[in-house]
Amino acid sequence: MVLSHTAPIDSSPLVEQDIPIPEPKAGEVRVRVKTCGVCRTDLHVTEGELPPLRPHIVPGHQVVGLVDKFGAGAKRFRIGQRIGIAWLRWTDGKCRYCRAGKENLCPNAKFTGYTEDGGYAQYAVAPEDFAYELPDELDDVAVAPLLCSGIIGFHALKRANVQPGCALGLYGFGSSASLSIQVARHWGCRVYVMTRDAKHQALARELGATWAGGSADKPPELLQSAVLFAPVGSLVPTVMESLDMGGTLAIAGIYLTDIPPLNYQKHLFHEKTLCSVTANTRKDGEELLRISAEMHIQPKTTTYPLRDANRALQELKHDGISGSGVLAVE
């Protein structure tokens, strides 16, 4: 499913095309794609909220597939092994961020489904060093959302300084939040969910939320940590008011509408922290996959055939997906 020009998703800009099967370069592996998660970042790429970097792109960066070919020198995996390909595709390994263990901030990074073709296709390639071994405990559909929604949510929990047993607020309850809540509950946190959609509130309660309300509602207690998943900047002052002294808000989206002016005394005083989340490191992904297998995480998914990628993204945009959307390629 190829994007040749950005456009509103309701115009179905992704077009089914036959394109050459990609050949893995040195150090790369090719997979025959089994599933690919549907992510809000794919929506931002499709609609141009992330500026286009090339004229034609195959979106998709939560790729599960079976290795079927190696590039020169690639030897980490075996033919037929199931692996995952995520958003962070490559970093230079040399810049000061990479050397400091912050490869997610590498200024020369490349991204699956944005700078290079992704997994809305039958085949995909990636550098073997940036692919993931996948736990046997999770099937092809269940593991796909972990490769971005899960990893970013996990990184966001860490950026929000979530501690076991704390009061945590999640604002917006799409794919990433529906996975993050399960990790937070595994850590014994009291989780309060603020989201505009009644069915998402119901899912939050089903997954263990202590309380669920509207997107602008105040939670029943002050929060030590909060994550804003909804790309709505106007919610930031609301969340900051709901933080306890010393609390932290992490903004998890790659895109956010403008934030209204903040009042220092009201929103930031008492050592409150406001921070962003930028991609993830491979260490985040490896840790999240290990924890997910241990806790037998249960992603709630809706599956679509590959040719229905436009419909999947449309339903994502209009809050029609409960949990995570996944494209079944085979």
Q: How far apart are CA 15 and CA 4, in angstroms?
A: 8
Q: What mean pLDDT is predicted for residues 96-108?
A: 97
Q: Which CATH architecture has domain 2-147+281-328?
A: Alpha-Beta Complex (3.90)
Q: What mean pLDDT is predicted for residues 48-66?
A: 94
Q: What mean pLDDT is predicted for residues 302-328?
A: 95
Q: What mean pLDDT is predicted for residues 298-321?
A: 95
Tell me what percent of the chain is helix, strand and coil, each rounded to the nearest 5.
Answer: 30, 25, 45
Q: Do the domains spanning 2-147+281-328 and 151-276 agree at the CATH topology level?
A: no
> Tell me: the pLDDT tens digits for 107-140?
999 999 999 999 999 999 999 999 999 999 999 9
Please tell me the predicted confidence (pLDDT) of residue 330: 75
Which residue in the block uniquely carries the two structure tokens 């940590």? 225
Does residue 47 register a pLDDT over 90? yes
The answer to whether 247 and 222 are in contact (CB under 8 A) is yes
Alpha carbon 91 to chain centroid distance? 18
* CATH class, range 151-276: alpha beta
Where along the chain do its domains lie? 2-147+281-328, 151-276
